[in-house]
């Protein structure tokens, strides 16, 4: 399993404008083969800081995700939304277990 955790930042005033594009990205990504989890959440203490969480079955699924039209469309939105400080990290993990 590949877990992606990180953040992106945009002006808080742009969150409402970004919502439709973010929703489309989440829904289409969740429908991809090998996507176990995909989500964005605005930090309650830092307006405009969006936390990214992704879980992929394997690297091949993540590689396929990077080539999708919806990812290209999402990235094309970044300049007009003033998205900055993209900080994403990939982690390899074993099978999940309840805690």
What is the CATH T-level fold of the domain 2-92, as seen in this structure?
A: Alpha-Beta Plaits (3.30.70)
pTM of the model: 0.92
Q: What is the pLDDT of residues 33-88, one digit of tens each?
A: 999 999 999 999 999 999 999 999 999 999 999 999 999 999 999 999 999 899 99
Return the structure tokens found at 41. Answer: 């959440």
* pLDDT tier, 96 (very low <50, low <70, confident <90, very high otherwise): confident
For the chain, what are the domain ranges? 2-92
Sign of CA dihedral 91, 79, 41, 12: positive
Query: Residue 95 pLDDT more than 90?
Result: no
Return the structure tokens found at 78. Answer: 């970044």
């Amino acid at each position: 399993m590949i877990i992606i955790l990180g953040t992106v930042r945009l002006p808080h005033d742009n969150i409402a404008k970004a919502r439709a594009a973010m929703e489309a990205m989440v829904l289409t990504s969740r429908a991809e083969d090998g996507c176990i989890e995909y989500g964005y959440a605005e930090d309650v203490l830092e307006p405009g800081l969006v936390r990214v969480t992704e879980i992929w079955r394997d690297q091949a699924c993540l590689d396929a995700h990077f080539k999708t039209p919806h990812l290209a469309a999402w990235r094309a939105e970044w300049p007009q939304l003033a998205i900055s400080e993209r900080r994403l990290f990939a982690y390899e993990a074993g099978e999940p277990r309840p805690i």
